[in-house]
Structure formats: structure tokens, C-alpha cells
Amino acid sequence: MDTRSTGARDDDAELAAVTRELGHRRYRLRFAPDLEAGYRADQNGRAVSAFRRTGLFILMIYLLLSSGIYALMPAEDVGRWLSLYGWVGVIIVVVMAASHVRLFDRAYQYYIGTGAFVSVALSVAVTGVVKHPEAASLTNAAIMYAMVIIYAICGLRFTVALVAGWCGGLAGEMLAGLLGGAVDWLVLHRTYTGASLLGMFLAYIG
């Protein structure tokens, strides 16, 4: 038996099945069971490979934003801001390192999703902890970048990014309350909510 021709027929059959699924124009977030496992494995491998290249870019954006925020942040808010937002940088470095360990490749969605969740929670919480309006505006602006990165650059599956983004925001509000602060949702809706919806759209069509 010609194994090459058999493999080619299998590939053609799988491609035809995927084409049929995409042609149905349904708003479902998964393929049929016989295709979903293969798709997840392939997507996860591509996501890990891409993050090994884009992780440094994400860290550079974080450092650029942080340096700008630090330069403009009122002195009395610097400590409160850094005590929370500084951990976002630590998370980025940790997940960058994890992405280069092949043993963790299969867990990519879990550790990036967890890192995204904690990063969003800290980013939202810090907006309610800083006191000056200028400080809150600066930290709110940084959230917009974070949400687009989580949805569009990290390679998370749509549902994982959805949970990390929205649950992270809820956790951030709770954390701000525990720390004696309060999140201004009128402002946050114009940054966090808007950027989340944009990110969801980019992730869904991607």
C-alpha cells in the first residue's frame, strides 16, 4: 500500500471537513469533536512558538508604558502603583521563561491564561488604589494596551481569553476594595470595557 497516497487522502478529507465547518457560518467556538482535538493541538503549538518571539515585544511595551507612567505619576502614588503594577512585569518575565521550556508547551493555555487573569486583576485594582485623578487616568490607559495584547497577541483560545479578561476585571475590583480603594467604573468602561470588546472581536475573527 502506498502510505503517501493514503496520508494525502486523509489530509484532503480533513481539509474538506474543516471547509464544510467554516462554510456553515455558525457562531460556534469549536469544531466537530473529531476535528477539535487536532485543531487545539495545532493551535497550541503555533501559539507557543509565536509567544517565544512576541514575549519580548510585550515586555518592551510594558516597560515603555511603565516608564511613562512613572515619569508622570504624582510622587505620593508611586509606591501604591508600583506595589501592584510591578508584579505585572514579573508575570510577563515568568511566562516568557515558561514558554521556552518545552515540557510546559501543553500547559501553555493554562499558564498564559492564569498570568493574563492576574495581570488584569492587578491592573484594574491599581486604578482604584491610586489617589490622584492623573494617576488613575495613566493606569486606565495602560489597561487598554493590556486587553488588546491578551486577546490578540498571546494566542489564547477565545474562551480562555474571555475568562481571563472579564474575571480578571471582577477580581481587580474586589482587590481594590480589599485594599481600601474603589474602582471608578465610569472611567473604566471607557478603557477596560471598550478595549475588552475590541479584543474579543479581534480574537473571534482571528
Asked whether the beta carbons of 97 and 52 are under 8 A apart, the reply is no
- How many CA within 13 A on the CB side of residue 73? 25
* Torsion, CA 167, CA 147, CA 59, CA 99, rounded to 10: 60
- Tens digits of per-residue pLDDT, 144-176? 999 999 998 998 988 899 999 999 999 999 999
At residue 38, the pLDDT reads: 59
pLDDT of 28 reads 56
Q: How does pLDDT run across 80-100, given as a tens digit for each residue? A: 999 999 999 999 999 999 999
| Cα 153-110-47 angle, rounded to 5 deg | 35
For the chain, the first-to-last Cα distance in angstroms comes to 39
Calculate mean pLDDT across residues 100-118.
94
Closest by Cα among 72, 71, 65 to 92? 65
Type of residue numbered 198 = L
| Cell numbers that stand for 128 in this block | 482604584
